[in-house]
Structure 1
Amino acid sequence: MNQADFKSHLEQGYTFKNDYFILGTGILNQEPIQNAQVKIPLKTLNRHGLIAGATGTGKTKTLQVIAEQLSLKGIPSVLMDLKGDLSGLAMPGSNNSHIEKRSTAIGVDYNPTGLPVELMSISQEKGVKLKATVSEFGPVLMSQIMELNDTQRGVMALVFRYCDMQHLPLLDLKDLKKVLQYITNEGKESITKEYGSVSSASVNTIMRKIIELEQQGADHFFGELSFDVDDFVKTKDGKGVVSIIRLTDIQNRPKLFSTFMLSLLSEIYETFPEQGDSDKPKLCLFIDEAHLVFSNANKDLIDKIESIVKLIRSKGVGVFFCTQSPTDVPDAVLGQLGLKVQHSLRAFTAKDRKAITKTAENYPISPFYKTSEVLTSMGIGEALVTVLNEKGIPTPLVHTLLRAPVSRMDILDDSEIDTLTQNSDLVKKYAKLIDRESAFEILDMKITRAEQFAENEEKNLPNQNTLRGRKTTSEPSLLDDLSKNTMIRQIGRTIFRELTRGILGSISGKKR
């Protein structure tokens, strides 16, 4: 088929009534075709997406371009940056002859532009500190993260229920460990009466799982001040704010990454109001190196992600996974993704060739390309693209020359990062360290008070030698028996009642 047929084919699929942005232009017979622009409709970006391709083929720059265009359309986004490549979005790019040639071929002007950026972190990186409390996670999500079995999940549910009833705030992992220790030691008797016996073996297993989370840095993440997801939905001078979550120091801690990503999706889903289909999304999330999420997640965790991806669309939120191959994403999730940008794949082995054949089957059949061949022959900055049109129908598959980023393609230096964080209102808002009275302090105080009470009672008991002196040595003392038995048991019961009743404190702040 000739260029005229190609343009007509694309025009039918890529003509939209509502707002859109231009991603690139179509390529036919290895040549970019003018006036064959590939457009992304804003209306369908809450149907999620995939950016895939081998290392070095330009996936991150494609992510950068899409985030830029969203920002210029007033749509905020959240970028999970595991490689540290995306901070350059805050500064204007630089023009050159190559970029000019590419922009001319696509039919767009190149205007270097810096975008409003917030740098964020869940570890010790510079930026806004993102935190969440254990209470906000809840027993189900905490159990899924720690891969607990049914018995251990029951214990976790008991812990949260007990803390609810006793008004014990569960803020960080220190609180959770303290409650677990308490229910198997000082509070064992009262817990058994009210909830049934708790297996020490199960509690010990949960404790080890918590330690594993701490070793991956989760102790920096759990706590206060909890991040308000509404702070992601900001605009500045008409541009959507790009929130870049810097995760370069947790690449080798996939459980922490999975924990954070799932909690973020859950919090957004539970917090944002229903929006339905609108002219543009409220927020878009980009998860780079998405294979780290799925390769280290158990079935329950994947099921949870799948459910949220299906449901979060109604909140006006789009989720985009960036990874090396579509096969990195479970089929149940992959089937929910409307936008697909597929960069080149490598075919070095028989296994690679089979994977390419399988990948090609994920895309619409095109009369202009043999997909499996194009997948291995595309250059850097080229991709196969298909998206849902405004009626929810996949657009024609197009070998696309992608536009260049208008922001800096390199990263910010340390001084630029310092300037950006110093000027951020959110950094100031979440920089305060809060360690208010919670389960750890309350239980610690109650145990100390109970121990002191027991010591005082013991000191106030009548002197046993004096009492025995008033009786015959052969006759047992009634008071002696009472002291040894009844009184001791009464003291024990009093201690346990004191430990398990009337514990003060209330959970304030965000809802459970």
Structure 2
Amino acid sequence: MSETGMDRIFVGGGGEDYGTPQHLLLKYGNRHGLIAGATGTGKTVTLQILAESFSKAGVPVFLSDVKGDLSGLAKSGDPAGKMHAAFASRAETIGFTDFGYNAFPVTFWDLYGEQGHPIRTTVSEMGPLLLSQLLQLTEAQEGVLNIAFRVSDEQGLPLLDLKDLQSLLVWVGENADSLSLRYGNVSTASVGAIQRALLVLENQGGDKLFGEPALELSDIMRTDTDGRGRISILASDKLMASPKLYATFLLWLLSELFEDLPEVGNPDKPKLVFFFDEAHLLFDDAPKALVDKVEQVARLIRSKGVGVYFVTQNPDDVPEDILGQLGNRVQHALRAFTARDQKALKLAAETYRMNPRFDIETAIKEVGTGEAVTSFLEAKGVPGMAERTLIRPPSSQLGPITMGERAGIVNTSPIAGKYETVLDRESAFELLKARAETAAQEAEAAEVREAEGMKGREELEREFSKARRYDGKSYERKTTSSRSTSTRKSSEKSFGEDLTKMVMKELTGTTGKRIVRGILGGLFKAR
């Protein structure tokens, strides 16, 4: 049996104790799938052999490596390894005639930039709905966050990283009254709650998710020179310490693929296959709006040529509406120790097409490690009959590679150096800072002008106070002519003195003050 034919992937089966050989038809690879089973039953190996087979068929793969085991895809299995005898025996049992060891083209990614290329998006691309889920905001707080995004769009304030959003929220809080009149209530308490949630996210390292250069989707949809699809592996062992960040990021990636990729109808093989490990984290305590969005993406993204495979412990971890869209299924053993487990087991069995040769519920309890109950879509997209299947052995190394080997692969990657240096271009933080500095400078200039105006008024008042007054001295009488002249001058001085007193009296009154203000205002305006 060949690992991959022209139109199918060999998964396993065969032998006396198993059913017919099981294949996943490539043309139905974008119809989504489920890999389920208890811890230690073989889910990781199943994920690994499917990733290998899709890659060999020329289909790029994106998967999250929760335990660090999947890095072994980058290295060939060892014929001298301790698992070789068991793998060779299994291959013979199921008729896997061309079994051999191979390495596969791998690109390592890491949100924290430690075990792979940094992977980022911008705050704007994440959007308020997913960001609200990530921050676990209330409905009122989510409303305020939506207002902040609207303000960002209307005022040309790009939101690229966390400091952009934090600075915009400060501005929103300062202008809460005017924004409330236009958009509805903007509570400063809600703004404060969002800021605290952003601080928690930043302390958890979530700030590394946001920024530039942002991920280009084409970099996770590459093929190598041999035509094999590159396998993008997201290091998630550390990321799992922040499960909301993990789930939100992967959902964002799915949403971006849905928004950006063109419609392709029913391709001969998928354009990309996406494995979502620990899928239950996506749905735990998720609001209905988010679950509806996941359902919409799952329903429509297959027309973009993308297949999504959820990997989880229990099928009931996935909402029923989404579970019904998963046509390709691999169900490893479930342990039915509790009433909830028994109910989950019964529901899992009911989702398969019945096989008269065995009881599906019993088989799911009894299959051993590396075995599964499988069902794959057949001609015309009809679910295949459930079969008890022995999963084929992997061609790549089972288990992780060393950190040195990982570093060597990262350094020789086709995208080496593209994402390592952070780009901090002008965005909301810088624009709002510039606005604040300009406003401060204008306020300072206004204070200077006001101070100069006060000084000018004081000087003018002093000039008025120095106006000539009669000095009170008497003059000797001389000739009649001189007396007449003196009398006339004295009368003029008396008149001038009286006029000055009258003017000063009027100027110190209400009307006079208005006149002075008018005169001074005109003078300083002219300056």
Structure 2 residues not aligned, in runs of 5+: 462-503, 519-527
Percent identity over the alignment?
A: 43
- Aligned partner of 1:317 among 303, 306, 331: 306
Matching residue of 1:57 = 41
Q: 1-side partners of 2:347 and 2:183: how far apart?
A: 52
- Aligned partner of 1:467 among 434, 454, 457: 457
Matching residue of 1:4 = none
Q: Is the 8 A contact 2:94 2:392 kept in 1?
A: yes
- Aligned partner of 2:78 among 94, 108, 117: 94
Q: Is the 8 A contact 1:25 1:402 kept in 2?
A: yes
Q: 2-side partners of 1:477 and 1:283: how far apart?
A: 82
Q: 1-side partners of 2:141 and 2:448: how far apart?
A: 41
Q: 1-side partners of 2:516 and 2:330: how far apart?
A: 85
Q: 2-side partners of 1:355 and 1:164: how far apart?
A: 46
- Aligned partner of 2:146 among 157, 167, 179: 157
1:448 equivalent in alignment to 2:437: yes
Matching residue of 2:194 = 206
**Are the structure 2 counterparts of residues 400 and 27 from structure 1 closer, same or farther at C-alpha, using a change threshold of 3 Å?**
farther
> Which structure is larger by alpha-carbon Rg, 1 or 2?
2
Q: 1-side partners of 2:336 and 2:172: how far apart?
A: 56
Q: 1-side partners of 2:514 and 2:246: how far apart?
A: 65
Alignment length (residue pairs): 462
Q: What's the RMSD between the two structures over aligned residues?
A: 2.5
Q: 2-side partners of 1:65 and 1:220: how far apart?
A: 32
**Are the structure 2 counterparts of residues 26 and 106 from structure 1 closer, same or farther at C-alpha, using a change threshold of 3 Å?**
closer
Q: Secondary structure of the equivalent of 1:92? A: coil
**Are the structure 2 counterparts of residues 398 and 190 from structure 1 closer, same or farther at C-alpha, using a change threshold of 3 Å?**
same
Letter in 2 for 1:374: A
Q: Is the 8 A contact 2:133 2:286 kept in 1?
A: no
Q: Is the 8 A contact 1:147 1:298 kept in 2?
A: no
Deviation at 1:92, TM superposition (A): 0.4
Matching residue of 1:274 = 263
Q: Is the 8 A contact 2:15 2:93 kept in 1?
A: no
1:41 equivalent in alignment to 2:25: yes
**Are the structure 2 counterparts of residues 436 and 362 from structure 1 closer, same or farther at C-alpha, using a change threshold of 3 Å?**
same
Deviation at 1:473, TM superposition (A): 7.3
**Are the structure 2 counterparts of residues 253 and 169 from structure 1 closer, same or farther at C-alpha, using a change threshold of 3 Å?**
same
Q: 2-side partners of 1:198 and 1:330: how far apart?
A: 34
State the TM-score, normalizing by the size of structure 1. 0.85
> What does residue range 348-427 of structure 1 map to in structure 2 within 5 Å?
348-427=337-416
Structure 1 residues not aligned, in runs of 5+: 1-15, 483-512
Deviation at 1:148, TM superposition (A): 4.1
Matching residue of 1:7 = none
Deviation at 1:350, TM superposition (A): 3.8
**Are the structure 2 counterparts of residues 114 and 17 from structure 1 closer, same or farther at C-alpha, using a change threshold of 3 Å?**
closer
Q: Secondary structure of the equivalent of 1:46? A: coil
1:243 equivalent in alignment to 2:239: no
Residues 449-481 of structure 1 deviation map (CA, whole Å, 9 limit, x = unaligned): 211210121012145476368397775955999
Matching residue of 1:299 = 288
Q: Is the 8 A contact 1:18 1:279 kept in 2?
A: no
- Aligned partner of 1:429 among 415, 418, 432: 418
Q: Is the 8 A contact 1:131 1:225 kept in 2?
A: yes
Matching residue of 1:120 = 109
Letter in 2 for 1:54: A
Q: Is the 8 A contact 1:213 1:255 kept in 2?
A: no
Deviation at 1:56, TM superposition (A): 0.4
1:264 equivalent in alignment to 2:248: no
Q: Is the 8 A contact 2:315 2:344 kept in 1?
A: no
Q: 2-side partners of 1:17 and 1:84: how far apart?
A: 30
Deviation at 1:159, TM superposition (A): 2.1
- Aligned partner of 2:170 among 181, 189, 196: 181
Q: Is the 8 A contact 1:26 1:398 kept in 2?
A: no
Matching residue of 2:480 = none
Letter in 1 for 2:312: T
State the TM-score, normalizing by the size of structure 2. 0.82
Letter in 1 for 2:59: I
Letter in 1 for 2:202: E
Q: 1-side partners of 2:107 and 2:258: how far apart?
A: 22
- Aligned partner of 1:331 among 320, 334, 347: 320
Q: Is the 8 A contact 2:113 2:119 kept in 1?
A: no
Q: State which drifts further: 356-365 or 324-333.
A: 356-365
**Are the structure 2 counterparts of residues 373 and 348 from structure 1 closer, same or farther at C-alpha, using a change threshold of 3 Å?**
same
- Aligned partner of 2:242 among 236, 253, 257: 253
Q: Secondary structure of the equivalent of 1:425? A: coil
Matching residue of 2:92 = 104
Residues 133-192 of structure 1 deviation map (CA, whole Å, 9 limit, x = unaligned): 11112334434444445544443333223222322111011101111111222x557646
Q: 2-side partners of 1:172 and 1:313: how far apart?
A: 31
Residues 332-357 of structure 1 deviation map (CA, whole Å, 9 limit, x = unaligned): 11111011100011133343333322
- Aligned partner of 1:458 among 437, 447, 455: 447
Q: Is the 8 A contact 2:31 2:325 kept in 1?
A: yes
Q: Is the 8 A contact 1:74 1:240 kept in 2?
A: yes
Matching residue of 1:12 = none
Q: 2-side partners of 1:190 and 1:449: how far apart?
A: 21
Q: State which drifts further: 271-280 or 426-435.
A: 426-435
Matching residue of 1:142 = 131
Deviation at 1:48, TM superposition (A): 0.3
**Are the structure 2 counterparts of residues 473 and 466 from structure 1 closer, same or farther at C-alpha, using a change threshold of 3 Å?**
farther
Q: 1-side partners of 2:216 and 2:280: how far apart?
A: 27
Q: Is the 8 A contact 2:352 2:385 kept in 1?
A: no
Q: Is the 8 A contact 1:258 1:297 kept in 2?
A: no
